[in-house]
Chains A and B, each alone.
Chain A
Amino acid sequence: MSAALQVQLLAGAPLLLMAAGIVLVMLLIAAQRDHRAIAQLTTLGFILAVGACLIPQPTVEITPLLVIDDYARLAMALFAAAGAITVLLVYGYLARHDGWREEMYLLLLLAVLGAMVLTAARHAATLLLGLETLGVALLGMVAYPLLRKRPLEAGIKYLVLSAASTATLLFGFALVYAATGSLQFDALGALLAAGEGSDRAIAQAGLGLVWVGFAFKLSLVPFHLWTADVYEGAPAPVAGFLATVSKGAVAVVLLRWLDAASLAQTPMLTQALAALAIASIAVGNLAALQQNNVKRLLAYSSIAHFGYLLVPFLVGGDTAREAVLFYVAAYAVMTLGSFGAIAALSPGANAEDADHLYDYRGLFWRRPLVTSVFTPMLLAQAGIPLTVGFLAKFYILAAAVERHAWVLAVAVVLGSAVGLFYYLRLVVVQFLPRPGGMRPETVWSEITVTRGVALALLLVALIVGGVWPQPLAGAVARALAALG
C-alpha cells in the first residue's frame, strides 16, 4: 500500500467507518434481528468515528471531490456525536414499536454518512451526493412509524419539498457550470469574477437558484412551509436529528461554498438574503408565539434560529465564520436536548408524541430530571448566559457589530426578545401545578437509563460550553484556520 493511499484511508476513516457500519448492520439484520445489539453496534460505530475525527492529521484531498481538513473533521465529529446521541434516544422510542426496529439504525448511519460527505464536499457533485444521501435516509426516518398518519404525512411533505429544493439546486449548479465551466469550488471564485456579459448574468441567476435550494434546506422564510408539519409529524428523536444534522451539515457546506462564490460579487443577492434573514427571524418568532404544540413551537423557533445564523454568513469575516461553526455546534446541543426531552416524555413509536403544551404542566414535580434538562435547553435557546446558547448568540452579535451590520444586529436582539416569550411560557408551564397529577412518575429501566445518559451528556455539554467555552472556541478557530 502506498503511503499516499494510507494517508487518504486514514483521513477518510470516519466515512469508511460509517460505510462499514452500514454494511455490517445490513448483514446483521439479514442474519438475526437483535434490537439491542444493533443499537450498541451503531453507537460504537459513531464513537469510533468521533475518535477518528479527533486524531490530528494534515489536510488531505481525496480525489477532486472531497477534502478532509480540520474543518471537515470537527463537523464530522459533531455529527457523529449527534448520531450517537440520537441512537440513545431512539432506542427507547422504538422499544415498544410493533414493526421492524433495526432499519432505523441503518438509516441513521446512512444519514450521518451523507452529512459527513457534505462537510468534506468541494465539488458540486459531492455536495448533491451528500445532500441526497442525507435526504433520502431522513425521509425513511421521518416516516418510520408507517402505520401512523402524521409521520407518513410528514414524510411525504419532506420528500416533495426536498426533491424540489434539490432540483432547484441542480438547476442552479447547471447554470453556474454553463457560465464558468467548472463545478470545483476552488476554481469557481476566480471564474465567477472573470465572467462577463451574458455569462455573468447566467452565473448570477445560477447562484441565486443555488441559494434558493439552500434556503429550502435551512428552512428560511419564505421556503419554510414544510418545517412545522415535518417536525410535528416526525418522531421526536428524528425531528431533533433532522434539525441539527440536516440543517447543520447544510450550514457547514454553505460556508465552504461561500469561500468560492463569495457574496461580495453579488450585492443584490446579499440584500435579498438580508431580507430573508430578517423575515425568518420575524416570521419564526411571531409564529412560534401562536403555537400550543411544542414540536411546532420548536420548529418555528428553528426557523428563527437559522435566521440568526444567516447573519454571520451575510456579514462575512473571520469572526463571522467562527460564529457559524460555533452556532451550529451550540444549536446541535440545544436542539437535540429539547427534542430528547420530548422523546423522553413520549410513549414511543406506537402512539402520538407528548407534544401538547398541557402535557408539560407540572412536569417539574412529576419528572424532575426531564425538566432539569429541558429547562436549561430552552433557556439556552433563548440565549441566557452560562449556557452555550448565550455564547452562540454572542458570537453572532460580535460578528454583526464588527462589520457594522446594525440592522441585522438589532433584528437579532428584537427577535431574541420576542423569543423569550414563548420559551419562558414553555418553561414556566412545567412548574405550574397540574390538577390531579403531581406525584413523581419516574420509573427506572434500561430505556430510561439510556435516554438519561443521552440527556445528561447534552446537559453537561450545554453548561460546560457556556461556562468554559474556550476549548470549543479554540477548536472552532483552529478548524477555520485550516479552511484558509
Chain B
Amino acid sequence: MDVSPALNPWLLPALILVPFFGGLLAWYAERWSLTWPRWIGLLSMAATCVLAIWIWAHAGVAPVVPPHGSPEWIIEFRAGWIPRWGVSFHLGIDGLGLLMVLLTGVLGVLSVACSWREIQQYVGFFHLNLLWNLAGVMGVFMALDLFLFFVFWEAMLVPMYFLIALWGHSSQGGSRGGRSRVYAATKFFIFTQASGLLMLVGILALVWLHQQNTGEWSFSYAELLYTPLSSLQEMLLMLAFFLGFAVKLPVFPLHPWLPDAHSQAPTAGSVDLAGVLLKTGAYGLLRFVLPLFPNASMDFAPVAMALAILGILYGAKMALVQTDIKRLVAYTSVSHMGFVLLGIYAGTTLALQGALLLMLAHGLATGALFILCGELYERLHSRELGRMGGLTRRAPHYATALMFFALASLGLPGLGNFVGEFLVLFGSFAVAPWITAIAATGLILAAVYSLYIVQRALHGPPADDTPIEDLTGREKLMMAFVMLALLALGLYPQPVIDLAFAPLAQIANWYALGVPGA
C-alpha cells in the first residue's frame, strides 16, 4: 500500500503528545484563570479528533484483506528505545485502532465539556489527569510493541486513580467523608494492576520463548505473531493475557471494581471509564489474544462465550435492582460488554464487526447517559431514582435526551447499538446457535431496565416541587452531537465497517485458521 504524503509518521506520536502537553499546559494555566484549563483541554482533545479524521480522510483503505499473512498499518512510527531488551518505540494504526482513537478523542472532548460546571476544585490538576489518562489510552490503541503497550496500559491507570479518588463522589449515606471514593479508586487500581502484572509475566514468557527460538529479544507484535508454541504454552499464555484484558472489559466474575468505580467517579471519569477504558480490554482481546494465540482462544471460546452470557444476564439483572441511577448505568455496561465478548469469541468477520460497532455505539450512548446522570446530580444532588420522577414536565429537554439514550441503550433500530448487537448475534449464530439464543434474551432485559429508568425518572408524580433547570446550551450541544453520531452509526455504518474491514477480517482468518507461518 502506498502511503499518501499527507500521512506523516509523526502523526501518531502527535496523537499522544498533544494531550500530554495539553495536560501540562492546562495545569500551569490554572494560575491565570479557571477557564483556561478547560479551554486548553477542550482544544487539545478536539485537535486529536482532527488528527484522527485527517488520517481517516487520507487513509484510502480498501476493504480487502491483504493477501499476505502479515498485518498492514495505515501509518507506522518506529524509533529505537531499549536495545538491551529489543524494545522499540513502535506505533502503528490500522482501521480498528483509528476508530478507537477517534472514539477516544470524541469522548475526551465530551469529558472536558461535561466537567465545565461540575469540577470547581483544583481545575488545572483535574485536566492534567484527564488528559494524561486519555494520552495513555491513545498509546494503548497504537502500540505495536508489547513492552510499550504495557507501559501505556499501566500509565493510564494512575491519572484515572486520581480522578476517582480526588474528584469523585462519596456514596450517599455511606461511611465517613472521602472514604468510599478512595476505596473505589483503590479497588479499581488493584484489580487492574494485579491482572496487568500477570499479563506482564505472560508477555515476558512469550518474549522469552521467542528468544529461545530466534536468539533475539524482541517485543515487537509483528515478530511475536509467528512464535511457535506448544498447546499447553499457548493456553497458559492466552489465559495470562485474557485475565489482564478481562478485568478491564469486564468479564463477569472479574467485574466488582466497575460499579464502585463508576458510581464514585466524577462524570468525566465515568464517561472516560465506560466509553474508553472498557474498550481497551476489548481492543486487547482483538489485537493480541486472538492473533497471538488463535488455537488456544478457539479452545477457550466456549468458556468465554459462557462468561459472556453470564455477564449479559447478570449485568442486566443487577441493573434492574439498582436505585442509584449511576450504578444502574454501570451495570448495563457489564451487560453490553458481554455482547462484545460474545462477538469477539464467535470470531466471524460479521461478529467482530458487530463487536466493534457495539463498542463505538456503547461508548457514545453510555457516555451520554453518564453525562445526563451527572447533570441530574448537579441539579438534584442525588442519584436516587426514588427522588426523581416527573422530569418530563420539569425539564423537558433533559427528559428527551434521557429517553433517546435509554432507547439507544436498549437497541432501538436506527441507532448504532442496534446495528452492533444485531451483527454480533447474526455473526455468532452460525458458530454457537444456542449461546446466541440465550444471549438474545439479554435484549429483552435491556428493554426492561432502559424503560425502567425512563419510567422512574421521567414519568409519574414529581418527588418534590423545586424547579429544575433544564439543559443549558452547552449541554444541549453535547447531547445533540452524540445523538447525531449515534444516528449516523445506526443509519449508515458502512464507512466504519469499510475502514475496519481489513484488520477485522484478518483477525477472523487467523482465528479460524491460525496465523500463517506458525
B154 close to A (CB within 8 Å)? yes
B395 close to A (CB within 8 Å)? no
Among B84, B178, B185, B190, point to the contact of A470 (Cβ < 8 A). B84
Classify the interface of chain A: helix, strand, loop or mixed. Answer: helix
Instruction: Supply 17 A–B pairs (Cβ within 8 Å), ascending by A.
Output: A384-B155, A385-B150, A385-B154, A385-B155, A397-B204, A409-B201, A413-B197, A413-B198, A413-B200, A416-B194, A417-B194, A424-B185, A425-B182, A428-B161, A431-B166, A469-B84, A470-B84
Which B residues are in CB contact (< 8 Å) with A60? none
Q: A397-B204, A424-B189 are in contact. Are A414 and B182 (CB under 8 A)?
A: no
A477 close to B (CB within 8 Å)? yes
Is A394 a contact partner of B200 (Cβ separation < 8 A)?
yes
Which B residues are in CB contact (< 8 Å) with A385? 150-152, 154-155
Tell me the smallest distance from the CB of A463 to a CB of chain B, in Å.
12
B205 close to A (CB within 8 Å)? yes
Q: A409-B201, A425-B186 are in contact. Are A386 and B193 (CB under 8 A)?
A: no
Q: What is the CA–CA distance of A477 and B84 in the complex, to the nearest angstrom? A: 9
Tell me the smallest distance from the CB of B35 to a CB of chain A, in Å.
21
Q: What is the CA–CA distance of A401 and B198 in the complex, to the nearest angstrom? A: 12
Q: A413-B201, A424-B186 are in contact. Are A386 and B155 (CB under 8 A)?
A: yes
Q: B369-404 vs A: 1/0 string, CB under 8 Å?
A: 000000000000000000000000000000000000
Question: A134-186: which residues lie under 8 A (CB-CB) from chain B?
Answer: none
Which B residues are in CB contact (< 8 Å) with A474? 84
Question: A382-434: which residues lie under 8 A (CB-CB) from chain B?
Answer: 383-386, 390, 394, 397-398, 401-402, 409-410, 413-414, 416-417, 420-421, 424-425, 428, 431-432
Q: A417-B190, A432-B178, A477-B84 are in contact. Are A390 and B154 (CB under 8 A)?
A: yes
Which A residues are in CB contact (< 8 Å) with B194? 413-414, 416-417, 420
Q: A421-B190, A473-B84 are in contact. Are A431 and B151 (CB under 8 A)?
A: no
Which B residues are in CB contact (< 8 Å) with A477? 84
Q: A424-B161, A424-B189 are in contact. Are A386 and B201 (CB under 8 A)?
A: no
Is A470 a contact partner of B81 (Cβ separation < 8 A)?
yes
Question: A438-474: which residues lie under 8 A (CB-CB) from chain B?
Answer: 468-470, 473-474
B162 close to A (CB within 8 Å)? yes
Is B158 a contact partner of A384 (Cβ separation < 8 A)?
yes
A379 close to B (CB within 8 Å)? yes
Which A residues are in CB contact (< 8 Å) with B197? 383, 397, 413, 416-417
Q: B176-211 vs A: 1/0 string, CB under 8 Å?
A: 001000100110011001100110110011001000
Which A residues are in CB contact (< 8 Å) with B208? 398, 401-402
B313 close to A (CB within 8 Å)? no
**Beyond the given A385-B155, A390-B154, A417-B197, could you list 11 further A-B residue pairs with CB under 8 A, ordered by the A residue number?**
A379-B158, A385-B152, A398-B208, A410-B201, A413-B200, A420-B189, A420-B194, A424-B186, A428-B182, A468-B81, A470-B81
Tell me the smallest distance from the CB of B68 to a CB of chain A, in Å.
32
Q: Which residue of B lies closest to A382 (CB)?
A: B193
Which B residues are in CB contact (< 8 Å) with A469? 82, 84
Tell me the smallest distance from the CB of B241 to a CB of chain A, in Å.
14
Tell me the smallest distance from the CB of A263 to a CB of chain B, in Å.
22
B165 close to A (CB within 8 Å)? yes
Tell me the smallest distance from the CB of A435 to a CB of chain B, in Å.
11
Which B residues are in CB contact (< 8 Å) with A402? 208
Which A residues are in CB contact (< 8 Å) with B204? 394, 397-398, 401
Which B residues are in CB contact (< 8 Å) with A473? 82, 84-85
Which A residues are in CB contact (< 8 Å) with B151? 385-386, 390
Tell me the smallest distance from the CB of B394 to a CB of chain A, in Å.
34
Is A470 a contact partner of B83 (Cβ separation < 8 A)?
yes
Q: What is the CA–CA distance of A426 and B155 in the complex, to the nearest angstrom? A: 19
Is A397 a contact partner of B186 (Cβ separation < 8 A)?
no
Which B residues are in CB contact (< 8 Å) with A425? 182, 186
Q: Which residue of A lies closest to B147 (CB)?
A: A394
Which B residues are in CB contact (< 8 Å) with A417? 190, 193-194, 197
Tell me the smallest distance from the CB of A203 to a CB of chain B, in Å.
35
Question: A61-110: which residues lie under 8 A (CB-CB) from chain B?
Answer: none
Q: Can you list the 3 inter-chain pairs with the closest CB atoms, starting with the nearest?
A: A417-B194, A385-B151, A473-B84
Is A431 a contact partner of B165 (Cβ separation < 8 A)?
yes
Which A residues are in CB contact (< 8 Å) with B152? 385
The total of chain B residues at the interface (CB under 8 A) is 31
Tell me the smallest distance from the CB of A297 to a CB of chain B, in Å.
15
Q: What is the CA–CA distance of A456 and B166 in the complex, to the nearest angstrom? A: 26
Which B residues are in CB contact (< 8 Å) with A424? 161, 185-186, 189
Q: Which residue of A lies closest to B152 (CB)?
A: A385
Tell me the smallest distance from the CB of A466 to a CB of chain B, in Å.
9
Which A residues are in CB contact (< 8 Å) with B166? 428, 431-432
Tell me the smallest distance from the CB of A286 to a CB of chain B, in Å.
14
Is A397 a contact partner of B161 (Cβ separation < 8 A)?
no
Q: A468-484 vs B: 1/0 string, CB under 8 Å?
A: 11100110010000000
Tell me the smallest distance from the CB of B363 to a CB of chain A, in Å.
25
Is A384 a contact partner of B154 (Cβ separation < 8 A)?
yes
Among B150, B193, B200, point to the contact of A420 (Cβ < 8 A). B193
Is B84 a contact partner of A401 (Cβ separation < 8 A)?
no
Is B154 a contact partner of A470 (Cβ separation < 8 A)?
no
Q: What is the CA–CA distance of A409 and B204 in the complex, to the nearest angstrom? A: 11
Tell me the smallest distance from the CB of B372 to a CB of chain A, in Å.
29
Is A420 a contact partner of B158 (Cβ separation < 8 A)?
no
Q: A402-B208, A473-B82, A473-B84 are in contact. Are A421 and B186 (CB under 8 A)?
A: yes
Q: What is the CA–CA distance of A397 and B150 in the complex, to the nearest angstrom? A: 14
Which B residues are in CB contact (< 8 Å) with A468? 81
Q: What is the CA–CA distance of A434 and B1 in the complex, to the nearest angstrom? A: 59
Is B82 a contact partner of A470 (Cβ separation < 8 A)?
yes
Question: A290-345: which residues lie under 8 A (CB-CB) from chain B?
Answer: none
Among A401, A421, A432, point to the contact of B201 (Cβ < 8 A). A401
Which A residues are in CB contact (< 8 Å) with B83? 470
Most buried by A among B152, B161, B197: B197
Tell me the smallest distance from the CB of B87 to a CB of chain A, in Å.
9
Q: What is the CA–CA distance of A19 and B161 in the complex, to the nearest angstrom? A: 49
Which A residues are in CB contact (< 8 Å) with B193? 416-417, 420
Tell me the smallest distance from the CB of B27 to a CB of chain A, in Å.
11
Tell me the smallest distance from the CB of A74 to a CB of chain B, in Å.
15
Is B186 a contact partner of A431 (Cβ separation < 8 A)?
no
Which A residues are in CB contact (< 8 Å) with B150? 385
Q: A351-365 vs B: 1/0 string, CB under 8 Å?
A: 000000000000000
Is B82 a contact partner of A420 (Cβ separation < 8 A)?
no
Which B residues are in CB contact (< 8 Å) with A394? 200, 204
Q: B142-157 vs A: 1/0 string, CB under 8 Å?
A: 0000000011101101
Q: What is the CA–CA distance of A424 and B193 in the complex, to the nearest angstrom? A: 12
Q: What is the CA–CA distance of A384 and B198 in the complex, to the nearest angstrom? A: 14
Is B165 a contact partner of A428 (Cβ separation < 8 A)?
yes
Q: Which residue of B lies closest to A470 (CB)?
A: B82
Q: Which residue of B lies closest to A368 (CB)?
A: B125
Most buried by B among A385, A390, A420, A431: A385
Q: What is the CA–CA distance of A384 and B197 in the complex, to the nearest angstrom? A: 10
Q: B237-271 vs A: 1/0 string, CB under 8 Å?
A: 00000000000000000000000000000000000
Tell me the smallest distance from the CB of B105 to a CB of chain A, in Å.
22
Q: Which residue of A lies closest to B83 (CB)?
A: A470
Q: What is the CA–CA distance of A394 and B154 in the complex, to the nearest angstrom? A: 13
Most buried by B among A384, A397, A428, A432: A428
Q: What is the CA–CA distance of A421 and B165 in the complex, to the nearest angstrom? A: 13
Which B residues are in CB contact (< 8 Å) with A421? 186, 190
Q: What is the CA–CA distance of A432 and B154 in the complex, to the nearest angstrom? A: 23
Among B85, B158, B162, B198, point to the contact of A431 (Cβ < 8 A). B162
Tell me the smallest distance from the CB of B232 to a CB of chain A, in Å.
13
Tell me the smallest distance from the CB of B98 to a CB of chain A, in Å.
24
Q: What is the CA–CA distance of A393 and B129 in the complex, to the nearest angstrom? A: 25
Q: Which residue of B lies closest to A395 (CB)?
A: B85
Tell me the smallest distance from the CB of A406 to a CB of chain B, in Å.
8
